[in-house]
């Protein structure tokens, strides 16, 4: 039995913009960059990419201090978009005066869980309004593969908003398309493999992990895998978020 096993680390970075408006005019902008995703948040991205009951971002939670006490406030996502591998989420407008110290992306059905949590210090006066814009950047996959977790997390409903479904073996005789079998390991690892077999004997030069519509999530090239008659081959891809 031939085995092709690949382990791929993926990376998630955030940029938080705090936009303060007064009478409709932007008067202050603060930016914070970090790697702020929780284990639960990274697990949700892995599950979304594997069609394994993940949870998208649909609300923004904030913690703010006022009058010596701490409060929480939550608003639904006001807008969302994807530009290549970058997901942009924008909150509704916060108007309560105070010092805003924490911003979380989450889901209305997630309970106390959150995708990411970003510390800040933004003072909002009584005549001002505050909007948070969070950009999440995905890297680690080739080509347009990083577009997929961005679309999945934001529920963008475009050509990249589909989970992994197929592994394609490309050999001299053409393509063998196999349905993928996806699983979550250790919370943040998406494992993609298959149970049926490609056509053999064959020399395979390309292995591609696909979502519906033939969009590639990942692709392995540069080495040939020779599978003789009577042999089997199993590819296993592990993506650590």
Percent of the chain with pLDDT over 90: 82
Q: Which of 2, 97, 43 is closest to 241 using CA atoms?
A: 43
Domain residue ranges in the chain:
7-140+150-154, 162-240
CA-to-CA separations, 194 to 48, 49, 178, 182, 237, in angstroms, rounded: 18, 16, 7, 8, 10
Q: pTM for this one?
A: 0.93
pLDDT digits (tens, 9 = 90+) for 38-66: 999 999 999 999 999 999 999 999 999 99
**Hey, CA dihedral for 201, 204, 208, 212, is it positive or negative?**
negative
For position 22, what pLDDT does the model report? 80
- Coil, strand or helix: which one is 155? coil
C-beta atoms surrounding 21 within 10 Å = 16
Find the range with the poorest average confidence among 23-27, 78-82, 124-128, 227-231.
23-27
Question: What is the number of H-type helices and E-type strands within the chain?
Answer: 2, 16
pLDDT digits (tens, 9 = 90+) for 87-142: 999 999 999 999 999 999 999 999 999 999 999 999 999 989 999 999 999 999 99
CA atoms of 50 and 163, how far apart (whole Å): 5
Q: Are 62 and 18 in contact (CB under 8 A)?
A: no
């Amino acid at each position: 039995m031939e085995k092709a096993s690949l382990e791929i680390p993926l990376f998630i970075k955030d940029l938080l913009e705090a936009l303060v408006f007064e009478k409709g005019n932007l008067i202050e902008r603060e930016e914070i960059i970090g790697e702020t995703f929780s284990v639960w948040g990274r697990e949700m991205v892995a599950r979304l990419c594997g069609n394994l009951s993940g949870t998208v971002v649909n609300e923004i939670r904030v913690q703010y201090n006022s009058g010596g006490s701490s409060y929480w406030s939550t608003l639904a996502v006001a807008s969302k978009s994807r530009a290549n591998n970058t997901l942009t989420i924008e909150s509704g407008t916060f108007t309560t005066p105070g010092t805003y110290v924490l911003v979380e992306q989450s889901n209305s059905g997630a309970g106390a869980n959150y995708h990411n949590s970003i510390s800040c210090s933004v003072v909002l006066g009584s005549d001002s309004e505050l909007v948070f814009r969070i950009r999440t950047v995905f890297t680690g996959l080739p080509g347009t593969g990083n577009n997929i977790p961005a679309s999945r997390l934001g529920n963008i409903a475009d050509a990249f908003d589909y989970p992994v479904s197929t592994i394609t073996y490309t050999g001299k005789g053409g393509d063998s398309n196999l349905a993928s079998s996806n699983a979550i390991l250790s919370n943040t690892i998406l494992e993609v493999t298959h149970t049926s077999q490609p056509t053999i004997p064959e020399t395979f030069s390309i292995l591609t992990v696909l979502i519906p519509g033939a969009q590639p999530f990942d692709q392995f090239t540069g080495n040939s895998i020779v599978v003789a008659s009577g042999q089997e081959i199993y590819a296993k891809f592990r993506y650590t978020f």
